[in-house]
Amino acid sequence: MLLSGGLDSSTCLYWAQREGWDCEAVSVLYGQRHARELDGARAIAKAARVPWRSVELELPWLKVSSLVSKSAKLPDLPLAKIGTGGIPSTYVPARNTVLLAVAASLADATGASAIVTGANALDFSGYPDCRPAFHRAFESVLREGTRSGKIRVLAPLLRLDKEGIVRLALELGVPLGLTWSCYKGGRRPCGRCDSCKLRAKGFAEAQAIDPAC
Amino acid sequence: MLLSGGLDSSTCLYWAQREGWDCEAVSVLYGQRHARELDGARAIAKAARVPWRSVELELPWLKVSSLVSKSAKLPDLPLAKIGTGGIPSTYVPARNTVLLAVAASLADATGASAIVTGANALDFSGYPDCRPAFHRAFESVLREGTRSGKIRVLAPLLRLDKEGIVRLALELGVPLGLTWSCYKGGRRPCGRCDSCKLRAKGFAEAQAIDPAC
């Protein structure tokens, strides 16, 4: 389980448990502008009673992304424009390839039969590495490049919109007050970044109150 | 350029320069039992006059590999048995997936059009992530999961045996005395690990003297 501590990956963790998987969660620090979501990941893993660890990768060139560089300005787009204008400045180069590779090495080391990712490709910022074709390609890497050759990629949210994700999270009893989705790292979510806006849209459409706000 | 500082990746660097590529080299520390080869990488990059850097990944579960765990015994097989008995204990889980992912993120961040890897699948230890099918699969990940979608994987040694690699290195003028291939980290190569034996075979068949021994 790749667990960032946000809405999506936290929902995936509870989904995987309901599906009967014996889970282990890993959070990856790659220089995100804040480590606020890490606290969320730790708390969610504790609430779900799964082993959790964080690992750190030194990838200094990721600072080209406004999600990593502290001096860059985060986009503040109208909701309707999110994901429509090409790849945004928050894109972290090949991030999901790196994250899935980390999960692949953990899975291949421990004999796990699947990797779970919270990627979704409907209400998203327009990152190429969140699309179904990317996950299929990565499964072929797992087939050819691991000891077992049988590690699957599970992306249960891939074709859900944010409303669907919020509804699933509520149905699964995910402790949403513990999750952190904002791209910034303040005390409260900023409400203006892509991630905040998409999350707010999801709660509004699901007619639910976000306990994290 | 993924540059470990061994015979293979060093040869690739000189090959890529001859092919006209403007190269940047990166060495990845993932907990190898020694950092001896890093000195080689730095020296080779300096000799080839290319920018070089090393990055560190914290992936503690890789200790299942005898190449990473300092307490594990390295295999000492007869040359003819190397690569024939299934995946050996030196296999580092999904290592090349992780290494290529790191290179992919660097390439996608800088706009590079190719990743170069020294993997080869003839005289090798039998790792699954050194085979042609693995590289093809990774190229599909690069196509689907990066900003440019056009990053290639170049593996010029993929179908060469060690004799061919040594001959190519000599032809290219690779400063072989600077390279380090041994799995151990002593002052001199051990002469007993897979890597030393395959390297010695290459030099013997190419009727050349290894300046690093």
- Decide: residue A58, CB within 10 A, 0-12 exposed, 13-18 middle, 19+ buried: middle
Q: Give dist(CA B106, CA A41) in Å, integer.
A: 27
Task: State which residue of chain B sits closest to A94, comparing Cα positions.
Answer: B105
Chain A interface disruption, residue of B32, B110, B141, most A CBs within 10 A: B141
* Three-state secondary structure call for residue A27: strand
In a domain, A1, yes or no: no
Residue B20 in this model has a pLDDT that exceeds 90: yes
Spatial CA neighbour of B119 closest among B108, B111, B131, B107: B131
Tens of pLDDT, residue by residue over A110-146, are: 999 999 999 988 877 788 889 999 999 999 999 999 9
User: Which pLDDT score, from 0 to 100, does residue B49 have?
Assistant: 97
- Tell me which chain B residues have a C-beta less than 8 angstroms from the C-beta of A91: 147
pLDDT grade, residue B34 (50/70/90)? low
Q: Do A59 and B105 touch (CB under 8 A)?
A: yes
Give the C-alpha separation, B204 to B191, whole Å: 13
Residues on chain B touching A108 (C-beta within 8 angstroms):
93-94
Q: Which residue of B has its CA nearest to A151?
A: B94
pTM of the model: 0.93
Picking from B62, B138, B141, the nearest residue to A109 by CB comes out as B62
Residue A50's nearest CA partner among A109, A82, A9 is A9
Residue A106 to residue B61, Cβ atoms within 8 A: yes
B93 and A144 in contact by Cβ < 8 A?
Answer: no
- Cα A68 from chain centroid (whole Å): 15
Does B36 have pLDDT greater than 80? no
The residue among A99 and B124 whose pLDDT is bigger is A99
Compute the count of residue pairs across chains A and B with CB atoms less than 8 Å apart: 151
In a domain, A210, yes or no: no
- Per the domain annotation, does B199 fall within a domain? yes
pLDDT of amino acid B115: 97
Range of the domain at A162: 7-205
Residues of A in contact with B108 (CB under 8 A): 93-94
- Quick: pLDDT tens for A16-31: 999 999 999 999 999 8
Q: What is the share, in percent, of chain B residues with pLDDT greater than 90?
A: 67
Specify the pLDDT at position B82: 79
Span A163-189, average pLDDT? 92
Q: How far apart are CA B161 and CA A61, in angstroms?
A: 35
**Quick one: pLDDT at residue B33?**
64
Mean pLDDT computed over every residue of chain A: 92
Indicate whether A75 belongs to any domain.
yes
Residue B176 has pLDDT above 80, yes or no: yes
Query: What band does B213 get if pLDDT is binned at 50, 70 and 90?
Result: confident
Q: Does residue A105 lie within any of the structural domains?
A: yes
| Residue-level pLDDT at A34 | 67
Across residues A62-71, what is the average pLDDT? 85
Task: Indicate if the pLDDT at residue A44 is higher than 90.
Answer: yes
pLDDT class of A67 with cuts at 50, 70, 90: confident
For residue A62, give the nearest of B105, B129, B138 by CB distance. Answer: B105
Residue B1 lies in a domain: no
Q: Which of B33, B29, B24, B94 is nearest to B55 (CA)?
A: B29
User: What does residue A76 show for φ and ψ, rounded to 5 degrees?
Assistant: -135, 80
- B44/A63: higher pLDDT: B44
Q: Do A128 and B146 touch (CB under 8 A)?
A: yes
What integer best gives the mean pLDDT of chain B? 92
Yes or no: say if A203 and A166 are a contact pair by the CB < 8 Å rule: yes
- Mean pLDDT over A197-204 rounds to 94
CB nearest to B109's CB, from A62, A128, A137? A62
3-state class (DSSP) for residue B27: strand
How do residues B104-133 score in pLDDT, each as one tens digit? Answer: 999 999 999 999 999 988 877 788 889 999
DSSP structure class, residue B1: -
Q: What is the ipTM of this complex?
A: 0.92
Of B55, B96, B141, the CB nearest to A138: B141
Contact A56 B61 (CB under 8 A): no
Is residue A47 in a domain? yes
Q: Which residue has the higher pLDDT, A69 or B164?
A: B164
Query: What CATH code is carried by the domain that includes residue A172?
Result: 3.40.50.620
Number of domains in chain A: 1
Asked whether residue A33 carries a pLDDT value surpassing 80, the answer given is no
pLDDT at B188 over 70: yes
On whether residue B211 sits in a domain, the answer given is: no
Whether residue B101 and residue A97 make contact (CB cut-off 8 A), yes or no, is yes
